[in-house]
Structures are given as C-alpha cells and as structure tokens.
Amino acid sequence: MTLENSFQAKLIKQLKADYPGSIITKLDANHIQGIPDLLILYENKWAVLECKRSANASHQPNQDYYINKMNNMSFAAVIYPENKEEVLNDLQSALRPSGTSCISRSK
C-alpha cells in the first residue's frame, strides 16, 4: 500500500468515528479527472477532501480547480499528514449544525 492509500484509509476510519451516521465514499477520478478523493455526507451538509501523502506531493491536472470550485459550494480541502489537524478542525466547523432561528409569523 502506498503512503497516500494508508493515510487515506486511516483518515476514513477517523472520519467515520468523528461523524457517526455519515456516508464517506471515494470518488472516481477516472470519471471526472481531478475530482477530490473523498465525499463526506453528514446530516444536511457535505464536504470533499483530496488526500496527499505529504505537503509537497504533486497535484494532478484540475485538482486545484475542483477544490476551489467545491470549496465555494460547501467545503473542500487538500489534506496530508502535515496539515491534518488544521483541516479536520476546519471540516468540523463546516459540518457543524447551523442554528435555526425561530421567527414568529403572524397572519
């Protein structure tokens, strides 16, 4: 197993523990070249993560494009061992349930 695959497998286990009831699936880069590795569906929110073995690992064509595009939609990030805690903290903020305000509507 490559370092990236090992890192990704451990990350998936951690995400499943941190977000019980979530759906975490690998996306197919052969279908859309450059699409991030993982899709996380949690309650009514979603996020994607592109896993890399290190901070200086090369990016495939279109990966940065999809990370930027999807981050504008919800949450997307490149994650590797050196920034794992920071990205997971940001992910937690992004997936945190948003408070709903109760607005009284009189007719």
CATH number at residue 33: 3.40.1350.10
Residue 17: inside a domain: yes
Q: How far is it, in rounded angstroms, from Cα 46 to Cα 100? A: 18
Whether 106 shows a pLDDT value over 80: the answer reads no
Question: Is 52 among the domain residues?
Answer: yes
Q: Does the pLDDT at position 104 exceed 50?
A: no
In a domain, 82, yes or no: yes
pLDDT for the residue 2: 60
Residue 31 lies in a domain: yes
Answer for the pair 20, 43: CB distance below 8 angstroms, yes or no.
Answer: no
| Residue 55 in domain | yes
- In the prediction, which pLDDT does 35 show? 96
Structural domain containing residue 12: 3-95
The answer as to whether 66 is a domain residue is yes
Task: Name every residue whose Cβ is closer than 8 Å to that of residue 79 and which is 6 or more positions away in sequence.
Answer: 11, 49, 50, 51, 52, 87, 88
pLDDT in tens, 48-86: 999 999 999 998 889 999 999 999 999 999 999 999 999
Domain count, the chain: 1
Residue 103 domain-assigned? Answer: no
> Are 43 and 97 a contacting pair, CB within 8 Å?
yes
With respect to residue 101, please indicate whether it lies within any of the assigned structural domains: no
What does the pLDDT read at residue 101?
A: 44
